[in-house]
Chains A and B, each alone.
Chain A
Amino acid sequence: MFDQTIIRVCLIVGSLLTAGFVLRRVRMAKVQIEDTIFWFGFSAALLILAIFPGIAYWAADLLGFMSPINFVYIVVIFLLLVKQFFMSIRLSQLDSKVRMLTEQVALNQEKLERDKLDL
Chain B
Amino acid sequence: MSKLLIVIPAHNEEDNIVQVVENLTSQYPEYDYVVVNDGSRDKTAAICRAHGYRLIDLPINLGLAGAFQTGLRYAAENGYDCAMQMDADGQHKPEYIPAMLAALEEGNDIVIGSRFLTVKKPKTLRMLGSYIISWSIRLTTGRAICDPTSGMRMFNRAMVEEFAQNLNYGPEPDTISYLIKNGATVKEVQVEMGERMAGQSYLNLWNSAQYMIKMSISILLIQWFRKRDTETPYPERSL
Q: A residues touching B (Cβ–Cβ < 8 Å)?
A: 23, 26-34, 36-37, 40, 97, 100-101, 104
Contact = CB atoms under 8 A, between A and B. Distances in A.
A4 B197 CA distance: 60
Contact of B214 (A26, A28, A30, A34): A34
A23 B222 contact: yes
B166 to A, nearest CB: 7
Contacts of B227: 27-29
B229 to A, nearest CB: 7
29 contacts: A23-B222, A26-B168, A26-B222, A26-B225, A26-B226, A27-B225, A27-B226, A27-B227, A29-B167, A29-B226, A29-B227, A31-B167, A32-B167, A32-B168, A33-B168, A33-B174, A33-B214, A33-B218, A33-B222, A37-B213, A37-B214, A37-B217, A40-B217, A40-B222, A97-B60, A100-B59, A101-B59, A101-B60, A104-B59
Contacts of A97: 60
B208 to A, nearest CB: 15
Nearest to B59: A104
B170 to A, nearest CB: 8
Contacts of B217: 37, 40
B60 A23 contact: no
Interface size class of B (residues with CB under 8 A): 10 to 19
A32 B218 CA distance: 11
B221 interface: yes
The winner among A29, A32, A100, A104 for most chain B CB atoms within 10 A is A29
A33 B218 CA distance: 7
The 9 tightest CB contacts between A and B, nearest first, are: A104-B59, A23-B225, A29-B167, A27-B227, A97-B60, A27-B225, A100-B60, A33-B218, A33-B168
A67 B47 CA distance: 64
Contacts of B174: 33
Contacts of A32: 167-168
Nearest to B227: A27
A29 B229 contact: yes
B232 to A, nearest CB: 16
Contacts of A100: 59-60
Contacts of B168: 26, 29, 32-33
Contacts of A33: 168, 174, 214, 218, 222
A37 B166 CA distance: 19
A37 B213 CA distance: 9
A34 B227 CA distance: 17
A40 B59 contact: no
A27 B168 CA distance: 11
B221 A40 contact: yes
